[in-house]
């Protein structure tokens, strides 16, 4: 199935950077030039360029144009902890239940999150990560098969999806949305919680340099989980 035009433009730009045709600080074609080259609207070209700017692959300079950014290492761009490591570092036992690992057709919301067309095949996994035998996180993950073709062949009792994806499609960016939710009956059963238990939901999109790798819904029982962080600012 042919990728959307904006995705083709992104792939074209990334390919030119990766094959060395466009070096760091080189100016890339304007939105008008890209629109003409791909026979599309300027709005479509703008979307492609804007997403690459947001990913840190390109950078805009007011009045001058858009340029190739300096490429940073994965660790300087993004740190996402592996839940198995977090649990083990607390000295607790980690276990996992795999509830689903299959291919499905992408609904509109999933297709949009993965930059695919509606109905495109995507890989889908459902895991319950447990601490000391108690469910700590329900992970529903949708994966772009174009970037991770062997996802369904993995045994996630041996490594988490996060560990696997970090190896085969190193992450350069992630976006999170965090909100409190009430668990439906299915989530209550999967997380072994009462109907009155509030939950914390994290929606996460992750990118590699080739595009959107996965979209995940992570649901945690409120009584067993909290988010925290430590920011340090240089003077």
The token pair that represents 14 in the structure block = 């990334």
pTM, two decimal places: 0.66
pLDDT at 227: 64
Burial status of residue 202 (CB atoms within 10 A of its CB: 0-12, 13-18, 19 or more): middle
Burial status of residue 114 (CB atoms within 10 A of its CB: 0-12, 13-18, 19 or more): buried
Span 74-83, average pLDDT: 53
Mean pLDDT of the chain: 86
Domain range annotation of the chain: 5-68, 74-221
Topology, domain 74-221? Chorismate lyase (3.40.1410)
What is the per-residue pLDDT across 208-227, written as a single tens digit (0 to 9) for each? 988 899 999 999 998 887 66
What is the per-residue pLDDT across 165-185, written as a single tens digit (0 to 9) for each? 999 998 888 888 888 999 899
How far is 22 from 10, CA to CA, in rounded Å? 14
Span 66-79, average pLDDT: 53
Domain 5-68, CATH: 1.10.10.10
């Amino acid at each position: 199935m042919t990728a959307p035009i904006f995705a083709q433009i992104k792939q074209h730009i990334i390919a030119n950077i990766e094959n060395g045709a466009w070096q760091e600080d080189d100016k890339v074609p304007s939105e008008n030039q890209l629109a003409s080259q791909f026979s599309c609207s300027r709005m479509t070209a703008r979307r492609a360029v804007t997403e690459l700017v947001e990913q840190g692959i390109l950078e805009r300079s007011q009045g001058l144009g858009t340029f190739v950014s300096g490429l940073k290492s994965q660790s300087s761009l993004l740190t996402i902890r592996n839940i198995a490591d977090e649990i083990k570092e607390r000295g607790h036992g980690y276990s996992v239940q795999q509830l689903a690992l299959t291919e499905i057709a992408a609904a509109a919301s999933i297709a949009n999150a993965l930059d695919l067309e509606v109905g495109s095949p995507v890989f889908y996994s459902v895991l319950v990560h447990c601490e000391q035998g108690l469910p700590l996180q329900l992970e529903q993950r949708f994966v772009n098969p174009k970037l991770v073709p062997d996802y369904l062949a993995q045994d996630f009792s041996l490594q988490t999806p996060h560990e696997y994806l970090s190896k085969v499609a190193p992450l350069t960016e992630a976006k999170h949305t965090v909100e409190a939710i009430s668990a439906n009956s299915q989530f209550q059963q999967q997380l072994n919680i009462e109907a009155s238990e509030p939950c914390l939901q994290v929606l996460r999109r992750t990118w590699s340099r080739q595009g959107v790798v996965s979209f995940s819904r992570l649901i945690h029982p409120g009584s067993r989980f909290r988010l925290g962080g430590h920011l340090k600012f240089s003077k």
